[in-house]
A = this chain, B = another copy of it.
Amino acid sequence: MDDLTEMLKGTLEGCVLEIIGSEETYGYAITRRLNELGFADVVEGTVYTILLRLEKNGLVQATKRPSGQGPPRKFYSLNEAGREELATFWAKWEYITTRIDRLKEGGR
């Protein structure tokens, strides 16, 4: 699938939140997860900028831990604000997809 970047704007951050919400994890693994989900062109730089933004906005908590196979990993988990943000993300997603699908069906 060719260039999806514009369409991913605003949704990729939510995807990262969802991944973190389901399991405490770190940037490199999140990138791999997104790639295997089908977002093949998402690169590390993108994920890290999202993670730094989430941290700056106080939606996640970060802990650095040694890795055993490379440099130390920075593990992220959602805090209360992050869980709320995730919920509103899914609400928005639901809202938009229903409207657009309605439009697609020639709907009113």
Contact = CB atoms under 8 A, between A and B. Distances in A.
Q: How many copies does the complex hold?
A: 2
B96 A18 contact: no
A88 to B, nearest CB: 8
Interface stretch (A4-12, A60-68, A75-83): A4-12
Contact of A9 (B6, B22, B97): B6
B1 A7 contact: no
A18 B37 CA distance: 28
Contacts of A22: 106
A37 B5 CA distance: 25
A100 interface: yes
A10 B88 CA distance: 20
Given A8-B10, A36-B108, 13 more contacts: A4-B95, A5-B10, A6-B10, A7-B9, A7-B10, A9-B10, A11-B96, A18-B103, A18-B104, A37-B99, A39-B99, A90-B104, A93-B104
